[in-house]
Chains A and B, each alone.
Chain A
Amino acid sequence: MVVKVYGSAMAACPQRVMVCLIELGVDFELIHVDLDSLEQKKPEFLVLQPFGQVPVIEDGDFRLFESRAIIRYYAVKYEDKGTKLTGTTLEKKALVDQWLEVESNNFNDLVYNMVLQLFVFPKMGHKSDLTLVQNCADKLEKVFDIYEQRLSKCKYLAGDFFSLADLSHLPSLRFVMNEGGFAHLLTKRKSLHDWYLDISSRPSWKKVLDLMMMKKSDMSTGPAKEEVKV
């Protein structure tokens, strides 16, 4: 039975789950949830995810939400299948978890607020708060200074191996580098930029970008669900 991932190929949190499943070699079915029409806030969806957010996964009878909980679960379940995304020792696992928490608590919200102000609010007819966007960018500079320091000492965040911690950053970094318009925050920091080029060139991430492009061009006439054979 294939894992069902409810979400949109265009949204960051479902992308986090998809890139992880592809790294692990786990087949899944993406069931599109139309975020523009607020499908995720409708009663039928709230049964699956009570906070009205994507993604949520269904694996047989087992249901799980929160993208970082989902990737932690599958990375351990399939640790002998595809890429080993958690560490091989207790200490390495803890470092992966630490940097995953850093992504979640020190990095994610800054980019999320930029996305809201620059793209979501205008779509809804609200004005963007460009001062807030600049504040987020300023804070991101300080965070990136710390990442630069770390990545000048190790190839990846948790050490010398690619892990959930690096993977978790991909969706938001893609935004920052592209339509977010803040690529210079990375390009002026050599180790950080090299790290980004490395992790974003992984076949798993390229596959997610393909799904994103397919969805963009299929928006009005595309299939409701896509089975992804890894």
Chain B
Amino acid sequence: MATPVKVYGPTLSTAVSRVLACLLEKDVPFQLQPVNMAKGEHKKPDYLKIQPFGQVPAFQDEAITLFESRSINRYICDKYGSQGNKGLYGTNPLAKASIDQWIEAEGQSFNPPSSILVFQLAFAPRMKLKQDENLIRQNEEKLKKVLDVYEKRLGENQYLAGDEFTLADLSHLPNIQYLVNGTDRAELFTSRKNVERWWGEISGRESWKKVVEMQTSPPPS
């Protein structure tokens, strides 16, 4: 059996869970390395050696140390192409391009407003920080416009890049999980028929259910 790869960071982090979902889809054994962000461990010299921007996740296998969740996922798909979900990153260049297009759309258009809403609505209350109502309102409006584009796309296609579940859909799982289940803004997704259908399908996958289980179970003592 191969040495498990290492993933640094807490399971509650959206970017960390984006990588975990991919590893599970590809049947790649991994070992989670905790990083205590509350104690600032991610900004300490030992961690900065692995991830100089002081962010999570970081990834290590026998060949490489990598950071940035979306590039870690592409690497996992390329390295482990023949195992697990084989079509996750496409099986030909045109399919790959379409998947990359929607991964970029996620990163550039969906992630910024949804991340801010996740922080303001799901994390700030837990951390007893004051919420910024203006920021919430502005980003809800931005997100609605993006979701209107998704609604149209998902009315024409089963998944974002075509007929199959891919890395493009997977990339969206972490933020939507929080918004639908951890805030009172689920209606952003459930009021859009095609988006709601798509969310039900992608979040119902075994791999994602396992990630959610990891997020909600207590850390090992």
Contact = CB atoms under 8 A, between A and B. Distances in A.
* A, B in one complex: yes
Interface of A: 50-51, 62, 64-66, 68-70, 72-73, 76-77, 90-91, 93-95, 97-98, 100-102, 104-106, 109, 143, 146, 149-150
Nearest to B149: A50
Contact of A73 (B78, B97, B152): B97
**Nearest 9 CB-CB pairings of A with B:** A66-B104, A101-B68, A69-B100, A97-B71, A73-B97, A94-B75, A69-B101, A98-B71, A101-B71
Nearest to B153: A50
Given A69-B101, A101-B70, A77 B152 contact: no
Nearest to A46: B149
A47 to B, nearest CB: 11
Nearest to B68: A101
Given A50-B152, A101-B68, A102-B68, A73 B93 contact: yes
Contacts of A50: 149, 152-153
Contacts of B97: 62, 64, 69-70, 72-73
A143 B70 CA distance: 19
Given A50-B149, A77-B93, A109-B112, A100 B101 contact: no
A70 B94 CA distance: 11
B2 interface: no
Interface string B53-70: 100000000011011101
B91 interface: no
A149 B48 CA distance: 12
A91 B64 contact: yes
Contact of B98 (A51, A64, A68, A106): A64
Given A95-B66, A101-B68, 10 more contacts: A50-B149, A62-B94, A64-B97, A66-B101, A68-B100, A69-B101, A97-B75, A98-B66, A100-B71, A102-B68
Interface of B: 52-53, 63-64, 66-68, 70-71, 74-75, 78-79, 93-94, 96-98, 100-101, 103-105, 107-109, 112, 146, 149, 152-153
A94 B103 contact: no
B18 to A, nearest CB: 12
A94 B64 contact: yes
A92 B67 CA distance: 13
Interface centre among B71, B112, B149 (most CB of A within 10 A): B71
A97 B75 CA distance: 9
A105 B52 CA distance: 14
A69 B96 CA distance: 9
Contact of B63 (A73, A91, A109): A91
A97 B74 contact: yes
B155 to A, nearest CB: 12
B66 A94 contact: yes
19 contacts: A50-B152, A50-B153, A51-B105, A66-B108, A68-B104, A69-B101, A73-B93, A73-B97, A90-B63, A94-B74, A94-B78, A97-B71, A97-B75, A98-B71, A101-B107, A102-B53, A102-B68, A109-B112, A150-B52
